[in-house]
Structure 1
Amino acid sequence: MFGWKSKRSFTRELVITPPAPLAGRHGISIVACVKNEASYIEEWIRFHTAIGVRHFHIYDDGSTDGTMDILRSLLPADALTIVPWIMRIRDQATSVVLNGQAIAFAHALLNFGGRYDWMAFIDVDEFLLPRRDRTLEEALRHVKGFPNISLPWHMFGHGGHRVRPAGPVCLNYTARVAHPERQGGNASNFKCIVDPTSVTGVSVHRFWTKAFGDRTSNDAGMVASVRDRKAEAFYSAENLQLNHYYLKSQQELAEKVARGWSFDDTTEKYRQKVAETARYIEHDVVEDRAMAAFIARNHIDLGPSAIPVPETMHDRTS
């Protein structure tokens, strides 16, 4: 069961009774809310399958571009669960937009969580990169079983691409925020990996557990409260880095803004949010080729995951 944690923040925080662990539970699943990601989903699936993800729970927000067909062609039935999940919901009394993503996460925990050792809650433009190990499960051993892990965004910019280049996103974009621990606003946040049988509180970017409340671990085993995890000392990508390919090319960024977001009331509000985040990302960047090195070292096949673009269109800004 679940309920709202508080009236004033009910769109963000949910209280649940943790699911009981099932006999034989094992492995890692990813939970993601998805809409019209046909151009990007294959690369994301192939990569996370290669690092040992056992199952994908996909909450489909009304995709119309064949995304679900691609998923079914890539994954066997025992590795994929698709849940229809239209996310535009309002509270009747206040007209506040409810966060359908947080509700989806609670649904996944309650209905499927007992099957797995870990559940990761990320988006299709986010990749979990093991830094010293071959698999995600190996990387998670460094937290020594702590049930709530927070991974800071490592935000990647457009890298000079004006239009979408051919090839995988995670190989094309290698310029990221130089100091994620010093960022603010919309460019500074975390995504979480949790032991689903321990979770008592759910939101998009933070979780609570029955034994540790809001305390959470970084990828190296350092534990802090949710409030204190934004201290510079907590920021770590020693063993596991969360790459967030937020901007991509200027063309794709414009398309992203045009699509809007389910939880902003107006297009203008979303446009301002994206513009602010883009300024943060592009203000101070470094070259980060750790993902490319990992893929090459482990011979990961990402497949034909991007729509080819004519060579003459591969313009880059100076």
Structure 2
Amino acid sequence: MFWKLPMFGKISKIGIRPPKPEPGRDGLAITLIVRNEARHIGEWARFHHRAGVARFLVYDNGCEDATLPILRETLPPEALVIVPWKQVFSDARMGREIHNQVLAYAHAASNFGGAHRWMAFIDVDEFLIPKRAGSLPEALAPLGEARNLSLPWHMFGRNGHETPPEGGVIANYLRRAADPMSDRRGIRAFKCVVDPCHLTALRVHSMETDGTDLTCNDRGESARGAEREKPGFYSADHIQLNHYYARSEQELREKIGRGPNLVAKSPEYERKVRRTVEAIEAEEVEDRAALDFLARRDAVEPAEASCGRS
């Protein structure tokens, strides 16, 4: 008799063997998975390149628009790695799909992590912002030998835009949820920046280094995985993670139309997304952290250029 094994959720946590550090490893790499992000990828790449990211590890999940050409035009060749990543893998015995984004993260850390001191794992609607320093590596330097950094989402809603405004995301979305640590649905979450040479297990929103979930905030204060959700762990003193969750109403509808990563959750997805947007927009504050960083860079870069002229 043939027995069909029960279906469960995706395999969303993957253990890895950390890569060995390469001689002279340094800098920050960002890993992201993309599919048809041409509308925003140029702004995202320019911002993070100006913020000091040394390498962009881009996993192409079947892009059919200009996402990849824009990246090639925006970033220097030595800073960009594009990996084809259109696939669906599953555990053949249990029938469980392996989370393709987590698999990309594991591949990036294993194959490229040895060259870098830090590796971030974010999406195109997320921006890492140095709050005081002139670059992300400079902002990370005071953390010393820290190996696992958890950054809370700062969630931005529609900001009154019905259609995508001209001028990009940073200039047009200046209001976010007032409390990044709110327990309102969908607001409180983290992304990680880790030392890939100590990374032992990973999910989208949490990672383990040296076999433990011990993490720290951007002030270097440590906590176990679940404890980072306590209000006292919150910090965005040095690095802020902006998540432009909804952008315009048109883009929100497109987001809903694309559906969730897990097909079985599709009927609930629109309700979930709308509830999250409602929670974001229930109480908002102005936030100009990204614009302030760009203004600092604009003030510094002409002076840097003049230092190189004879």
Q: Scaled by the length of structure 2, what TM-score is found?
A: 0.90
Match of residue 64 from structure 1? 64
What does 1:168-317 align with in structure 2 at a 5 Å threshold? 168-210=168-210, 213-299=212-298
Larger relative contact order (C-alpha < 8 A, sep ≥ 6)?
Answer: 1
Task: Render the CA deviation track for 1:43-86: whole Å, top value 9, x for unaligned.
Answer: 00000000100000001110000211111122232111111112
What percentage of residue pairs aligned between the two structures are identical? Answer: 45
1:116 maps to amino acid: H
Residues 1:142 and 2:160 are matched in the alignment: no
Task: Render the CA deviation track for 1:231-280: whole Å, top value 9, x for unaligned.
Answer: 00001101100000011111111111112233343532322221121122
Task: Render the CA deviation track for 1:100-136: whole Å, top value 9, x for unaligned.
Answer: 1111100101111001011000000000011111100
Structure 1: 5+ residue stretches without partners: 1-6, 301-318
Deviation for aligned residue 1:8: 7.8
Conserved 8 A contact 2:33-2:101: yes
Alpha-carbon distance between aligned partners in 2 of 1:86 and 1:70, rounded to the nearest angstrom: 19
Match of residue 109 from structure 2? 109
1:167 maps to amino acid: G
Alpha-carbon distance between aligned partners in 2 of 1:288 and 1:180, rounded to the nearest angstrom: 12
Alpha-carbon distance between aligned partners in 1 of 2:94 and 2:177, rounded to the nearest angstrom: 37
Match of residue 35 from structure 2? 35
Conserved 8 A contact 1:33-1:101: yes
Could you say what the CA RMSD is over the residues aligned between the two structures, in angstroms?
1.8
Alpha-carbon distance between aligned partners in 2 of 1:139 and 1:87, rounded to the nearest angstrom: 36
Alpha-carbon distance between aligned partners in 1 of 2:9 and 2:198, rounded to the nearest angstrom: 22
1:77 maps to amino acid: P
1:164 maps to amino acid: P
The list of structure 1 runs, each at least 4 consecutive aligned residues, that deviate by more than 6 angstroms after superposition, is 7-10
1:63 maps to amino acid: C
What does 1:36-115 align with in structure 2 at a 5 Å threshold? 36-115=36-115
Alpha-carbon distance between aligned partners in 2 of 1:270 and 1:61, rounded to the nearest angstrom: 21
Conserved 8 A contact 1:143-1:217: no
Cα 1:260–1:193 shift into 2, 3 Å: same
Structure 2: 5+ residue stretches without partners: 1-6, 300-310
Task: Render the CA deviation track for 1:128-149: whole Å, top value 9, x for unaligned.
Answer: 0111111001111232221000
Deviation for aligned residue 1:281: 0.7
2:102 maps to amino acid: A
Deviation for aligned residue 1:95: 4.2
Deviation for aligned residue 1:297: 2.5
Task: Render the CA deviation track for 1:9-33: whole Å, top value 9, x for unaligned.
Answer: 8712111111000112111100001
Alpha-carbon distance between aligned partners in 1 of 2:120 and 2:282, rounded to the nearest angstrom: 29
Q: How many residues end up aligned between the 2 structures?
A: 293
Cα 1:278–1:153 shift into 2, 3 Å: same
Conserved 8 A contact 1:160-1:249: yes
Match of residue 305 from structure 2? none
Match of residue 23 from structure 1? 23
Alpha-carbon distance between aligned partners in 2 of 1:164 and 1:8, rounded to the nearest angstrom: 38
Alpha-carbon distance between aligned partners in 1 of 2:238 and 2:9, rounded to the nearest angstrom: 33
Match of residue 125 from structure 1? 125
Conserved 8 A contact 1:99-1:263: no
Task: Render the CA deviation track for 1:258-312: whole Å, top value 9, x for unaligned.
Answer: 1223334353232222112112211111111121122123229xxxxxxxxxxxx
2:20 maps to amino acid: A
Cα 1:235–1:9 shift into 2, 3 Å: farther
Alpha-carbon distance between aligned partners in 2 of 1:143 and 1:183, rounded to the nearest angstrom: 28
1:267 maps to amino acid: S
